[in-house]
Amino acid sequence: MPRTRTPYSQNRVGPGGRIRRRMPRDRPTDDSMESTVTNHTDPPTAVVEMRGISITFPGVKALDDVDFRMFPGEVHSLMGENGAGKSTLIKALTGVYGIDAGTITLAGDQVSFSGPAQAQAAGISTVYQEVHLLPNLSVAENIMLGREPRRFGSIDWRAMRRRSAQLLAGLNLDIDPGSLLGDHSLAVQQLIAIARAIDVQAKVLILDEPTSSLDTDEVAELFRVIRSLKEQGVAILFVSHFLDQVYEICDRLTVLRNGKLVGEYLTEELLRIDLVQKMIGKELTTLDDLEQRARSVVVDESDAANFVTAARLGRRGAINPADLPIAVGEVVGLAGLLGSGRTELARLLGGIDRADSGELTIRGKATKLRTPRQAISHRIAFSSENRRDEGIVGDLTVRDNIVLALQADRGWFRPIPKKRRDELTQSYIQALHIRPGNPDALVRNLSGGNQQKVLLARWLAIAPGLLILDEPTRGIDIGAKAEIQKLVFNLAENGMSVLFISAELEEVLRLSHRVVVLRDRHVVADLENDGLTVDALLALIADGSVEADDTDAASGTNGDRVAVLGASDASETSDHLTIDNVPGGRR
């Protein structure tokens, strides 16, 4: 999709405004950004100005000294990976959360909201990520609730229907305002929530992931409305993880990472690739000199050598149909932002979620995975990114945790003999250097890295053919990280297939024979890792020039994916992009 730039942004940041100074404080953030921002001129007054906002939840600093501003007649986007603090910042602005430190200024007055009602009264209108409407009431009521037109103390139902019909017509939504909200699809409900928000004549309109359930036409409609509101001088905060949409509609971006401010930028001056780097936290460095290990890539064979072949495997709302062949002994890395579908795809392969389209072939046999147990019996092990909730059992010992999957696979009526359990545990403790090396230690008392190793041991114990590792190195110390990476490499050398997911692109590159890139729930590229660079991957993750959409899906060829890189600045890698040298890449 071409980047359309609306004329407003140029007008806004025209030469008329005063030179804006960066926030006075020095921030330990990307240096590249400082220069980007200081040169701008801004419209004179911000309608919202949040300064030094900090919010602490038990155990977590959700926001740490964050500044944020919004200008009238401008669409502003908050960008960041999950956990960056976007939703928290929004909830601080809308009075849902109280702030621990900092000030919020609305149209020049310092405010402190004790609830959403106050924020609404002050002119801040919000559409939340999840639809927060009432399925038991009519559409009209959902739009007008709390400010119903009244006559003689009674709600004037007719005026209410009329007004909401107008609003719906303004959104080109042809539904009966008297119908129950719960009878409409999620997308329509989302639009109704927006209708509610724009009825308030708000100064500030906050749209948190408003497009996640809308189709292209509905998004276009929404953008039309946003643009007209913008012309009326409303300040709009638009949060979306669809980069295309952000670049289409937004004038200004604020990037957060791990609860901290990375910076504020004008959309037109920030390349997508830079944006993604700032979100992920990777500098555009001179390439991390990875010790390029000699790789014996399994290139040539047919499907038979593939341990798993996914063909157009997909699940509605999670991941669009994707092809993913994994050869025996191959490490395939999945790269993409959070929400790009990387975990979702892995979950399909691990039998955690059921695919609703496509085929899965395991060792040459078409198979349907319905439960993780089936996956295990096919020797597919899935190690979740959510180590605490979906991985370890904290109150069991190291030994119990290690034998868990093997025991489950054998069935509960064939207990593993105690001696065998001890041997198994002992050997994994030694092989993986689990510390403390005490089989009777409770796993919750182990460090993150050692917990991860216990998990690995659990899955290795079932002798998997395919090991799916979702963020195995997140939140663990460097030493353990290196050990796990080495282990993955050794396992692959011994013929185990590994699907490796990590937010750290260097890690993905270091370990993978092949890298599959996902964006917006599509597989956008499937590349041989031969001279691939972090920059090239970032370009792929960021760039919107590829539409691996349904037309592509219909044609059934993967060839068009190659177009991706041609358009980007990573053309030096384009010769590796032919899909033909990827095992099983073409059916």
Partner 1 sequence: MTNLLEAPQQPKLPAGPGTPSTRRLGATIRNLMTSPKYGPVIVTAVLFIAVFVIGGVRYRGFFSGQVFLNLLVDNSYLIVLAVGMTFVILTGGIDLSVGAVVALSGMIAASLLQTGWSPSVVIPLILVLTSVLGLLVGLMIHVFKVQPFIATLAAMFLARGLCYMVSQSSISITDPVFVSLAQTRIPLGGILSITPSVIIALVVVAIAVWVLHATRFGRTVYAIGAGEQSGLLMGLPVARTKVLVYVISGFCSGLAGVLFTFYTLSGYPLTAIGTELDAIAAVVIGGTLLTGGYGFVLGSVLGVLVLGVIQTIITFEGTLSSWWTRIFIGALLLVFIILQKVLTARRR
Interface ranges with partner 1 (CB under 8 A): 96, 115-117, 119-121, 126, 128, 132-137, 141, 145-146, 148, 150, 153-155, 157, 180, 182, 196
C-alpha–C-alpha distance, residues 357 and 314, integer Å: 5
Give the DSSP H or E segment for 526: strand 522-528
Beta carbon of residue 57, minimum distance to partner 1 (angstroms, whole number): 18
Among residues 119 and 524, whose Cβ is nearest to partner 1?
A: 119
**For partner 1, the closer CB: 135 or 436:** 135
- CB of 151: closest distance to partner 1 in angstroms? 10
CB of 134 or CB of 287, closer to partner 1: 134
Q: Which residue has the tokens 């403790």?
A: 429
Nearer to partner 1, 150 or 224 (CB): 150
- Residue closer to partner 1 by CB (options 143, 579) is 143
Which CB, 204 or 499, lies closer to partner 1?
A: 204
Give the nearest distance from C-beta 118 to partner 1 in angstroms.
8
Maximum Cα–Cα distance for the chain, whole Å?
83
Distance CA(380)–CA(463), nearest Å, equals 9
289, 258, 274, 256: which is closest to 475 by C-alpha?
258
Helix, strand, coil shares, percent, the chain, to 5:
40, 25, 40
Residue 156 Cβ, how far from partner 1 at the closest point, in Å? 9
CA distance 45 to 36: 20
Nearer to partner 1, 121 or 463 (CB): 121
CB within 8 A of 582, min separation 6: which ones?
325, 514, 526, 527, 528
Residue 408 CB, nearest distance to partner 1 (Å)?
Answer: 33
Closest separation between CB of residue 135 and partner 1, Å?
6
Do the beta carbons of residue 141 and residue 160 sit within 8 Å?
Answer: yes
CB of 573 to partner 1, least distance (A): 47
Query: Comparing C-alpha atoms, which of 587, 586, 583, 526 is closest to residue 307?
Result: 583
CA 469 to CA 382: how far, in whole Å? Answer: 6
Smaller CB separation from partner 1, 113 or 428: 113
**Closer of 37 and 180 to partner 1 (Cβ):** 180
Minimum CB distance to partner 1, residue 236 (Å)? 18
- CB contact at 8 A, 211 and 339: no
**Least separation in angstroms between CB 344 and partner 1:** 24
Nearer to partner 1, 28 or 153 (CB): 153
Alpha carbon distances (Å) from 80 to 255, 280, 311, 315, 383: 6, 8, 32, 25, 25
Least Å from the CB of residue 154 to partner 1: 4
Closest CA to 271 of 502, 567, 532: 567
Question: Dihedral, CA atoms, 526, 281, 41, 231, nearest 10 degrees?
Answer: 60
Q: How far is the CB of 208 from partner 1 (least distance, A)?
A: 11
452 neighbors 401 (Cβ within 8 angstroms): no
Q: Are the C-beta atoms of 467 and 381 separated by less than 8 Å?
A: yes
Residue 7 CB partners (closer than 8 Å, separation 6+): none
Nearer to partner 1, 181 or 505 (CB): 181
Residue pair 111/105 in contact by the 8 Å Cβ criterion: yes
Residue 376 vs residues 315, 380, 400, 467, 468: alpha-carbon distances, Å: 20, 5, 18, 10, 11
**Cβ 92 to partner 1 shortest distance, Å:** 14
Nearest distance from C-beta of residue 310 to partner 1, angstroms: 31
Residue 569 DSSP SS3: coil
Q: Which is nearer to partner 1, 115 or 495 (CB)?
A: 115
* In the complex, least distance from residue 119 CB atom to partner 1, rounded to whole angstroms: 8
Q: How many CA atoms lie within 13 A of 376 on its CB side?
A: 18
Displacement of CA 189 from its chain's centroid (Å)? 23
Residue 266 Cα distances to 10, 464, 569, 584, angstroms: 10, 49, 21, 43
Instruction: Compute CA 311 distance to the chain's CA centroid, rounded to the nearest angstrom.
Output: 23
* Nearer of residues 199 and 269 to partner 1, judged by Cβ: 199
Min CB(586)–partner 1 separation in Å:
36
In whole angstroms, give the CA distance from residue 291 to residue 282: 19
509: left (phi over 0), alpha (psi -120 to 50) or beta: alpha
Of 23 and 187, nearer to partner 1 (C-beta) is 187
C-beta closer to partner 1: residue 161 or 196: 196
